[in-house]
Chain A
Amino acid sequence: MMDPNLTTIDFRLYAHWIVLLPMIGFLLELLIGKYTWRKGGMFATLSILGSMIISYGCLYNVYVQELGFWEYSWDWFYPGIVAGFTIDPLSLAMLCMVSFISFFIHFYAIGYMSHDCAKNVYFAETALFTGSMFGLVLSNNLLQLFIFWEMVGVCSYLLIGFWWHKPEAAAAGKKAWMSCAVGDCLFLLGIAMMYTIMVKQGITTEIISFNNIFQNLEHLSHETIFGMSALTIICILFMCGVLGKSAGFPLHVWIPDAMEGPTTVSALIHAATMVTAGVYLIARAFPIFLAAPNALMIVAFMGAFTALYASTLGLVVNDLKRIFAYSTISQLGYMIAILGCGAVLGVAAVAYAIFHLVAHAFFKALLFLSSGSVLHGIGNIRDIKEMGGLLKGMPWTGYAMLAGALALIAFPFTAGYYSKDRIIEDAYIYATNGGDLGYMVWIFLVLGVILTATYTFRAWYLAMTGEPRSYPAIRPHECGFWMKTTLVVLSVFALGLGIMTGGGVKFWHFLEETFVHETQTASGVYPGLDLHEIGLLGGNTLMQHGAHPPQWVIYLPLLLMIAGLAIATTVYYKNRIDVSKYVKKDNPLYQILWNKYYLDYLFKDIIAEKIIMTVFTFWDVLDRYVIDGVVNLLSWITIQAGQVGRKLQTGVVQNYATAVIFGVSMLMILVIMFRGGL
């Protein structure tokens, strides 16, 4: 370790530039990007490199030099509304991950998007996307976080529909926007309620900054709305926002369609800039959830259910990118579930969730970028049934994808092994220490493991091994310098992140300092915060000491993973079992899975088209005939009055003089009337 007293730049003073640089990159790219190097991409990539340098500088300041955390806010447009930044382990972990992944995705995109004609627009949008995510992570208050949260949403809409000339892409962008908007509306409602109850406490400065909310949780926990704890309602509303953004059940429907965008966008959305926002929100607002009765139980259940649910869907999809999309939903489920387990585990849950988030970001970015390389190499075919034997033609891509897949299924000593198995073990501890819903969460998560291993390797075997099943797959071409470099770097991290962080232990210890009111070297960002007391407000008794699950619990995920891997190998590599007799349209189970549990049907055909359209038709009629009628009537009256008034303007000067005298007389009469006689 370096000398802690080494005087260097205090990067924390420049934290705002982490957000501003990509915004500048966005403007430059949009305005003059077209005329620069390779017709775009330079400014976006360099600006994110700048953000990355500042982020790692801050990490160095805080972790190595132990200069302490940092919070700064300044007044914004209205008394009590502030803008501000927080630099603490939680935000630092996110910043470093987002900037690193995003930088390499940009680097990769220089090669991947090289043939696109609107390259500068693409890079402008991704720079804005990344910048918004930085802003979200750095926010120290709910309103600012929400603004960036929406900016992230807008950018995702723009980027998913980047190839807008394809109808599916345009529809997918719309779907992503609508699904998130449902959650976002409720999230905003939650913020408004939080503001209201904070004001009720007589708080006038920094009303909805996290610090202030955490300080007042004891008073807030007495607030009720409709006989329910206000905090629980707020947490449920926040959770709706999280489900939209982090693709939780049932608002996850946009994720598979979002694959219509460029693959680099999918990588950004899945790894760095979009879906992680929801998990981050729960982590950042963790004390609020802890103080709200039953809130974390809902979080745990929704997370575990999503984890299992999405992995069943991954089994039947044939689109390479969509398989990884479902795996993202499932992995996010793991993160959300372990945050829910925080009701017993306390701050450790946040550390585990964020570690899995970071590890997941590396291997998911790798998986998407390598599948992007596949698409690039065989002419945008996404169906794994038309691939096969690609490993020979594109070994770099094939092995990179293998590295990502191994990390995803938590193969020993990869990043996923340390992050995911820890989650499953602690879910067991949660159950044995009296967590709500007991073993259900743990069982869901454990079952997810076997399915994950199966579908991941189903995809890899079908794509990479065997015989080519279509003409383009016979002669794939390997990707170029930019893409290859990225794949190698990400592979190293996907495989080695766990080992680099001492099995995650260093990372967890660092992260746990977020919600500890006094660290060894400096006071925390949230002074006086005691999670044990806060937990009691919400009826959550935190574990006092670390516990160890029995040996069989530790080895169970590993065994199940091997079992899943064995199934995939038997069926799709050795072809020992012919699954085609089960995988048929008349198999009801297959049909349910193929139709994604009919959720799309429910949302689109029933809710959207029948119920909402009926309501809309009603409103439309009302709008068209009643409201428009009133408007038209008003404009008709205005114009008629104008026409009448026009006729008064005769052009005869005698009439004008008469009008003057008339006016004088009327004024006399009015003034006299008003004062009640002479």
Chain B
Amino acid sequence: MVDYTALLPIGIVIATAVIVLLTGLFIEQKKILGYITLVGLLTSLGLVLKGWDLNVAFDSAPFYGAIVVDPFAQIFNAMFLIVGVLVAIAALKAYGDNPRQDEFYSMMLLATVGMMVVAMSKDLLALFIGFELASIATYAMAGFDKRDPKSIEAALKYFLIGGLSSSLMVFGISYIYGLTGSTNIDTIASVFGANPGLATTPAILLAMVMLIAGFGFKMAFVPFHMWAPDTYEGAPSIVSALLAAGSKKMGFAAAFRIFIVGLIAMKVDWYIAFMILAVLTMTVGNILAVVQTSVKRMLAYSSIAHAGYIAVVFVVVAYDPAPGVAVIHAMTGGLMHAFSHAIGKAAAFIAVAAIAYMILSKDGKVDDPNHVSNYDGLAKRAPMTAFLFALLLCSLAGIPPLFGFTSKFVLFLSTIEAGLVGLAIICVLNSALSVYYYAKVVMRMYWGEPKGEAFVESSTYTFVLAIAVIALIVLFMPLPGMVSPGDLVYQWAEVAAHAVTGV
């Protein structure tokens, strides 16, 4: 008899989604649904944290090895659930009066379910289903503000490019199935390992590039990124938070599993592709972020740049001829950076939502509430929000004492340990460039001339931002040998790295 308790977290989220959807049909006071969502997500998060080092494979019916709960899946689950919690709290404020809020919550929960399935799947089909579940839910969420043409445009672009990418992905998966006769990632890996000739056929090359393109869409690698800025900017800010922080990490969860486990035999081939994509992505993301005048769009590009940093993991893992400490550090750093970016970026988008809300409610009609000129003197108008937002930007820029520093440090350290000094220099230069646009916003908030009187700060938004900032500060300093909450995340990521790389 298999013990299914490891699946309890995802079960709770599914149940909550169903409850929210059904209850929403019958009640008038829908604000309660937000709290139900929160309770569901928090319970699930608690169970994930409790079982952080579970290692359960479901090899028999009904899963037949498609689902696994290992530390790697759990750390991603935790990320998705934390982002979900942050977005859900923000939604209490953003959609508290919206009559369709039941749809929002249920779609958000279903998107979370999809992401969790991707993180836990060891089978290409399960992975694809989870991927599509999350994608379709987020397509709808991006267009949630039906009366806002920008929201509709964002959703449409996202949907069209998403459809294209999914087709490429399925194309790649079908080739892999054709070559190996299996969709199980472990089986695929052993087949390629046993037949080195198979790994060099042109067909597998095609499959590999298709998969990179398919996942590259979700991870927003340049040149598959073009939908991202438009969608992140047009979608409601809290949906952008979910997209940039959650959905993007789902792409990484899938790509890590497929490439680092399944297609590791072809690492010499995909290593060069990821190297080019990583460098291109971080450089283009940062350079375009510099010239943006909309803070929300700047965050979108910075999110692309961060995807470039995390893509470094693939390069280091594949480059190291004798997998050792560099590989572990790269994977650990990648997971930690995904973690820190998920919290920081989700909260940053929510901060943008909070600021836009304050500007619209006080200053009346403005063309673009996200324009950077509206942030002038914000520290005087909304001191709490400005302070927390500044700290979030510092974490994204990688400034201690915030978690963004440590995660970036471990990640970049691994490139040096692997001997990729050139790549390390590119990463660090990019990171330096990124400080420019983050600091620009902070500078305008603190030294700009205020445009009007003080705002009334929303306690709900401030609460979300405060949670995120406290989390980022508490998770700082996860260096080995130190006992701190951050150390636990380091260990978690390290255990997950061992699990996925098999080193």
Contact = CB atoms under 8 A, between A and B. Distances in A.
Interface in B426-479: 433
B290 A638 contact: yes
B213 A667 contact: yes
A662 B213 CA distance: 10
B225 to A, nearest CB: 9
Chain A contact residues, majority secondary structure:
helix
A671 B161 contact: no
A672 B203 CA distance: 12
Interface stretch (B94-102, B204-212, B255-263, B372-380): B204-212
Interface string B127-169: 0000000000000000000000000000011001100110010
A553 to B, nearest CB: 64
B321 interface: no
Contact of B216 (A638, A649, A663, A671): A663
Contacts of B186: none
Contacts of B400: none
Nearest to B276: A670
Contacts of A670: 272-273, 276
A379 B165 CA distance: 84
Interface string B210-225: 1011001100001110
Nearest to B284: A645
Given A642-B288, A645-B287, A663-B224, A657 B161 contact: yes
B229 interface: yes
Interface residues of B, number: 38
A662 B272 contact: no
In this complex, the member of B156, B208, B209, B227 whose beta carbon has the largest number of chain A beta carbons within 10 angstroms is: B209
A615 interface: no
A5 B364 CA distance: 83
B487 interface: no
A668 B224 contact: no
B291 A642 contact: yes
Most chain B C-beta atoms within 10 Å of own C-beta, residue among A642, A667, A668, A670: A667
A671 B202 contact: no
Contact of A656 (B161, B206, B284): B161
A663 B223 contact: yes
Contacts of B230: 649, 651
Given A638-B290, A645-B287, A663-B216, A668 B206 contact: yes
Nearest to A634: B433
Given A638-B287, A645-B284, A675-B268, A656 B227 contact: yes
Task: Sort chain A's interface into a size bin.
Answer: 20 to 34
B203 to A, nearest CB: 10
B226 A646 contact: no
Residue among B208, B268, B291, B433 with most chain A CB within 10 A: B291
B269 interface: yes
A544 interface: no
A1 interface: no
A643 B160 CA distance: 26
B346 to A, nearest CB: 24
A112 B157 CA distance: 74
Given A648-B226, A660-B165, A660-B223, 18 more contacts: A639-B291, A641-B287, A642-B288, A645-B287, A646-B288, A653-B160, A653-B161, A656-B227, A657-B164, A659-B224, A660-B161, A660-B217, A660-B226, A663-B216, A666-B223, A667-B273, A668-B209, A674-B272
Interface of B: 156-157, 160-161, 164-165, 168, 200, 202, 205-206, 208-210, 212-213, 216-217, 222-224, 226-227, 229-230, 268-270, 272-273, 276-277, 284, 287-288, 290-291, 433
Interface of A: 638-639, 641-643, 645-646, 648-649, 651, 653, 655-657, 659-660, 662-664, 666-668, 670-672, 674-675, 678
Identify the 8 closest CB pairs spanning chains A and B, nearest first.
A642-B291, A663-B223, A656-B226, A674-B272, A659-B223, A664-B213, A678-B202, A642-B287
